[in-house]
Structure 1
Amino acid sequence: MAADPGLIYDIEPSDYFKFFNCMGGLGSRDNCTTVKESIADLNLPSIAIPNLRTFQAMTRSVTNVDQVNAVYKAFLQPPTGVEMAVDPSVLVFSEEKKVLSFKVNFKATRRSIQGDYIFGSPLQFAL
């Protein structure tokens, strides 16, 4: 429910600004020293990987806005032809640890997916 999200993916307007100005070429390239390499690097809940050939890893950070001591487990349903793994697959939040990062690994298992768009279910963390 949007009124009680549990985990949120923090992203600043400056992240979008740098992406569109530095990667998208929509403005001056001033302050482009820390530009993200691709849209896949933006800290968003959705992940799009153009032309997955072999292996790619993404890192995401989430902030717990639910109960203080919460444990979330990752649930995946990878698209056909792709293996996925989340590390760590369990996120343990506490008073001291409100923001945690995790890595999502993608591995193409079929050559036929190259150049095509395929869709999987969203990565979900549940209590």
Structure 2
Amino acid sequence: MGAGQIDPNKALDPGLIYDATPQDYVNLLCALNYTQKQILTITRSGSYNCTKPSFDLNYPSFIALYSNKTRSVVLKFKRTVTNVGDGAAIHRAKVTEPKGSVLTVSPETLSFRYRNEKLSYHVLIKYSKYKKENISYGDLVWIEDGGTHSVRSPIVVAPSGIV
């Protein structure tokens, strides 16, 4: 599931971006139990380490997987965005919750003082299964005051067996 339709003109001026370093991707590979040899094959560098394995890649989308045994999940995600707009900007969160979920975004407003400033936010997803083997969709949209930019992040809640 993508974050939206491709609009090359808007892509030149996105407003906010999600940065991820090579070490961030290595942290994901480590969390997926890749061996050092496999990671070396992918990165072609021995300068990366597995000291902070994490499934929480700084990426615009969110997926909350739940076990069929527990039928519920509470997950917390952290994201950092960079303001690449013209200068100071205020973005407000607008959430469409996946069915069966309660989402909390904190903070609900990102107030950037200058271009290239980085700010972080958290998304807490509380989900209780309401149908058998159901996948639910929603999104988080950061809307800039004045309507110049909006940045959409898809949210998926699904049983862990689909992966």
TM-score by length of 1: 0.83
**2:60 paired with 1:45:** yes
What's 1:126 paired with? 143
Please report how far the alpha carbon of residue 97 of structure 1 lies from its aligned counterpart in structure 2 after TM superposition: 7.8
1:53 touches 1:114 (CA, 8 Å); kept in 2? no
Letter of the structure 2 residue corresponding to residue 56 of structure 1 = L
My pick for the range that moved more, 43-52 or 75-84, is 43-52
My pick for the range that moved more, 92-101 or 25-34, is 25-34
- Work out which of the residue numbers 122, 125, 131 in structure 2 matches 1:103: 122
Rg larger in structure: 2
What's 1:80 paired with? 99
2:86 touches 2:115 (CA, 8 Å); kept in 1? no
Question: Number of residues paired by the alignment?
Answer: 121
What's 1:33 paired with? 51
What's 2:14 paired with? 5
**Secondary structure at the counterpart of residue 123 of structure 1:** strand
2:87 touches 2:115 (CA, 8 Å); kept in 1? no
- Identity rate, percent: 32
Please report how far the alpha carbon of residue 34 of structure 1 lies from its aligned counterpart in structure 2 after TM superposition: 1.1
2:26 touches 2:50 (CA, 8 Å); kept in 1? no
Greater percentage in strand = 2
CA distance in 2, matches of 1:83, 1:58: 14
Please report how far the alpha carbon of residue 67 of structure 1 lies from its aligned counterpart in structure 2 after TM superposition: 2.2
Please report the RMSD computed on the Cα atoms of aligned residues, expressed in angstroms. Answer: 2.3
Q: Which runs of 4+ in 1 moved over 3 A?
A: 113-116
**2:134 paired with 1:93:** no
CA distance in 1, matches of 2:101, 2:109: 21
CA distance in 1, matches of 2:15, 2:132: 35
2:20 touches 2:58 (CA, 8 Å); kept in 1? yes
